[in-house]
């Protein structure tokens, strides 16, 4: 595969065999040749769980103190009497059956989905469409609720839902390259803490087997899994 000049320059600046501390890794990323757009800073984890067992599924949410750097388009499925509450809280799209039908038809122009509990019997038919995209409302992430005002505002501030994939990996964006170094570090620590809290009780042995940090189009840096990183 032909790599760009920028990518080859990054490879020269990164030691692929080294385990970097979080602070070291972010400092390296700050000084790597940049793309022509504000790349997302991404964390990737390989988890030591049995992906074949449902009681070892890893799923949860994290609250990033400095947000993701991306403005989320929030969709809310609710009853007519709750629509005004959702709109005032900042929801971009609000509705009931008509909105469900629109999504079922293939419209997916949103980034986060919330539903009231009573609407879930209708929303459930969207599972095959929204589930693989990480958009399906779930009680486990707090996105199935009657407290729409709080959850919509929370999502706008930087709440991040995560879910392990079929290979036992978790990949998330925790900010932008343009963020101050301290903001990226604090966001990363906040997410790692949430990931550790989501460890299934049935999982045995080493939970986080490996971790790496990178930018959207950049070289990955392996992270040292230390107690300090997991605080």
Which pLDDT belongs to residue 58? 94
The Cα 41–Cα 216 span in angstroms is 7
7's CB contacts (< 8 A; 6+ apart) are: 217, 218, 219
**pLDDT tens column, 112-134:** 999 999 999 999 999 999 988 88
CA distance 86 to 214: 35
Q: What is the sign of the dihedral through the CA atoms of 134, 139, 144 and 147?
A: negative
Over pLDDT 70: what percentage of the chain? 97
pLDDT of 70:
84
pLDDT over threshold 70, residue 100: yes
Task: Give residue 1's pLDDT.
Answer: 62
Please tell me the predicted confidence (pLDDT) of residue 227. 54
pLDDT digits (tens, 9 = 90+) for 24-62: 999 999 988 888 899 999 999 999 999 999 999 998 889
What percentage of residues in the chain have a pLDDT greater than 90? 71
Q: Kindly indicate the confidence band of residue 3, based on its pLDDT and cuts at 50, 70 and 90.
A: confident
For the CA atoms of the chain, what is the radius of gyration? Answer: 19
Q: Above 70 in pLDDT, residue 171? A: yes
Span 192-201, pLDDT tens digits: 999 999 999 9
15-67+160-222 maps to which CATH number? 3.30.190.20
User: What pLDDT, on the 0 to 100 scale, is given for residue 43?
Assistant: 97
Q: Is the pLDDT of residue 212 over 90?
A: yes
Residue 183 in tokens: 């903001």
Residue 178 in this model has a pLDDT that exceeds 90: yes
Between helices 22-31 and 181-197, what is the axis angle to 10°?
A: 140
* Euclidean distance between CA atoms 200 and 212, whole angstroms: 22
CA 214 to chain CA mean position, Å: 14
Which sequence spans correspond to the domains of the chain?
15-67+160-222, 74-157
Q: Which has more pLDDT, 193 or 6? A: 193
**Do 15-67+160-222 and 74-157 fold alike per CATH?**
no
Q: What is the Cα–Cα distance from 168 to 183, expressed in whole angstroms?
A: 27
**How much is the pTM?**
0.79
For residues 164-182, average pLDDT: 94
Instruction: Name the CATH superfamily, with its identifier, for domain 74-157.
Output: Ribosomal protein L1/L10, domain II (3.40.50.790)
103 alpha carbon, distance to own chain's centre: 22
What pLDDT, on a 0 to 100 scale, did the predictor assign at position 96?
A: 96
More confident residue, 12 or 105: 105
At residue 17, the pLDDT reads 87
Q: Of 186, 152, 187, 183, which Cα lies nearest the Cα of 173? A: 187
**DSSP assignments along 177-188, one per residue:** TTS-HHHHHHHH
Q: What is the average per-residue pLDDT within 76-82? A: 96
């Amino acid at each position: 595969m032909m790599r760009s000049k920028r990518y080859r320059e990054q490879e020269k600046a990164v030691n692929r065999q080294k385990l970097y501390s979080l602070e070291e890794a972010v400092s390296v990323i700050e000084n790597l040749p940049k793309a022509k757009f504000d790349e997302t800073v991404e964390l990737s984890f390989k988890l030591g769980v049995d992906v074949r067992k449902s009681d070892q599924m890893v799923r949860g949410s994290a609250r990033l103190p400095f947000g993701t750097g991306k403005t989320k388009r929030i969709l809310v499925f609710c009853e007519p009497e709750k629509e005004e509450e959702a709109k005032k809280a900042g929801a971009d799209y609000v509705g009931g059956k008509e909105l469900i039908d629109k999504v079922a038809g293939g419209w997916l122009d949103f980034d986060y989905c919330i539903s009231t509990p009573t609407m879930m019997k209708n929303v459930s038919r969207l599972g095959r469409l929204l589930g693989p995209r990480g958009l399906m409302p779930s009680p486990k992430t707090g996105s199935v609720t009657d407290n729409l005002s709080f959850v919509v505002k929370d999502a706008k501030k930087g709440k991040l839902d995560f879910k392990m994939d079929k290979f036992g990996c978790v990949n998330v964006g925790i900010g932008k390259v343009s963020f101050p170094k301290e903001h990226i570090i604090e966001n990363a620590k906040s997410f790692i803490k949430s990931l550790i809290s989501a460890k299934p009780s049935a999982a045995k042995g080493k939970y986080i087997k490996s971790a790496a940090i990178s930018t959207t189009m950049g070289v990955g840096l392996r992270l040292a899994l230390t107690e300090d990183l997991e605080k």
